[in-house]
């Protein structure tokens, strides 16, 4: 059986005291919760590593090139699904993003007084 006592560095003890006071819980409750959460994460991580190694051993792997090709295909499918909300709008009779149009707009806004 493990010892029930754990040495906590002074800076962590101060943080623990401050947080438990604000949270309205005892230090023991917070430490047990934090420990349980960290153990859950560590167990999940170790299981994921074991699963990855098993996939590698079984030959279930992809090259970087295969992954990038799959991502490109997925992106293309995503953007080809349906047009955006603005696609149903009628097309403008003129191209509003040309140098001549931009200059005319600038002249109209500034009274032709651009440097």
Instruction: Answer yes or no: is pLDDT of 27 > 80.
Output: yes
Please give the residue that has the higher pLDDT: either 114 or 30: 30
Please give the residue that has the higher pLDDT: either 109 or 85: 109
Give the predicted TM-score (pTM) of the model. 0.55
When pLDDT is averaged across residues 13-32 and rounded to a whole number, the result is 96
Rounded to 5°, the CA angle 86-91-94 comes to 130
Q: What distance in Å separates the CA atoms of residue 106 and residue 87, rounded to the nearest whole number?
A: 28
The pLDDT assigned to 101 comes to 73
Q: What distance in Å separates the CA atoms of residue 110 and residue 89, rounded to the nearest whole number?
A: 30
Q: In the numeric block, which tokens belong to residue 21?
A: 């006071």
Residue-wise pLDDT for 30-89, tens only, equals 999 999 999 999 999 999 999 999 999 999 999 999 999 999 988 887 776 666 655 666
The pLDDT assigned to 55 comes to 95
CA distances from 29 to 7, 20, 23, 71 (A): 16, 9, 11, 45
Give the residue from 1, 11, 50, 12 showing the smallest Cα distance to 34: 12
Q: What distance in Å separates the CA atoms of residue 17 and residue 30, rounded to the nearest whole number?
A: 10
């Amino acid at each position: 059986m493990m010892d029930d006592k754990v040495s906590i560095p002074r800076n962590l003890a101060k943080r623990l005291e401050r947080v438990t006071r604000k949270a309205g819980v005892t230090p023991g409750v917070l430490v047990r919760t934090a420990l349980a959460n960290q153990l859950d994460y560590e167990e999940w991580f170790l299981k994921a590593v074991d699963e990855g190694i098993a996939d590698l051993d079984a030959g279930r792997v992809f090259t970087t090139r295969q992954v990038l090709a799959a991502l490109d295909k997925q992106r293309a499918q995503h953007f080809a699904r349906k047009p955006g909300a603005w696609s149903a709008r009628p097309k403008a009779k003129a191209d509003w993003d040309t140098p001549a149009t931009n200059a005319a707009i600038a002249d109209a806004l500034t009274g032709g007084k651009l440097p």
